[in-house]
Copies of this chain bind each other. A is one copy, B any other.
């Protein structure tokens, strides 16, 4: 449960703790009311430090977002690390994938919202978000899909395309939940079932398919 950085000098540990305390406060406020509607004063208050102190840890307000992104990035790596070995059985893999994604969302919701609040308006943030989080995620997906395709469990040969398709779906699902769609928000199991069904069998009825063979 404690961070696995045992050997830092006390000074640095305290400093890192303070920085995290600030980032957590900032993330919570950004998530709640957006980056621009959050003032540095708000953040300082929530983090229980003086406004000037923020600037001992971060170059400016934008830098706080970068910091939140960093923490998010680290957290996701930790959570999703175990996934990199399971990809031997397709059913097992996709089932696990849904779970891991949901777990990432739950544990990092605030950070994700914080970043999303400004992602459209900040090109640098957008680029970092893609290269630090989205792209690595897609790469990981590809890495895991490849053996499944190689051993014939996945028919679709375009692994890169398939990874994008799956990523899109997950991203979109998150967004629908954000928007408060009642089915996605309150009936997630149902969505998961439909997803697995489509992943495994497609949408189109097989009878018809069989007939057409």
Q: Which residues of A contact B (CB under 8 A)?
A: 33-37, 90-91, 113, 116-118, 120-122, 126-127, 129-130, 134-135, 138, 152-156, 158, 160-162, 164-165, 167-173, 175-176, 178-181, 183-184, 187, 190-191, 193-195, 197-209
What is the CA–CA distance of A156 and B135 in the complex, to the nearest angstrom?
31
What is the CA–CA distance of A91 and B203 in the complex, to the nearest angstrom?
11
Flag if A134 contacts B194 (CB, 8 Å): no
Q: Looking at chain A's contact residues, is the secondary structure mostly helix, strand, loop, or mixed?
A: helix
List B contacts of A198 (CB < 8 A).
156, 162, 165, 198-199, 202
Pairs across A and B, CB under 8 Å, 5 listed: A156-B198, A161-B191, A165-B173, A165-B198, A168-B170
Flag if B171 contacts A190 (CB, 8 Å): no
Q: Which residue of B lies closest to A200 (CB)?
A: B204
Give the shortest distance, in Å, between A17 (CB) and chain B (any CB): 23
Q: Which residue of the partner chain, among B134, B160, B187, B205, contacts A154 with CB atoms under 8 Å?
A: B205
Flag if B181 contacts A130 (CB, 8 Å): yes
List B contacts of A190 (CB < 8 A).
158, 161
Flag if A161 contacts B120 (CB, 8 Å): no
Flag if A200 contacts B202 (CB, 8 Å): yes
Flag if A134 contacts B176 (CB, 8 Å): yes
6 shortest A-B CB distances, which residue pairs?
A34-B121, A168-B172, A172-B172, A202-B202, A171-B172, A36-B36
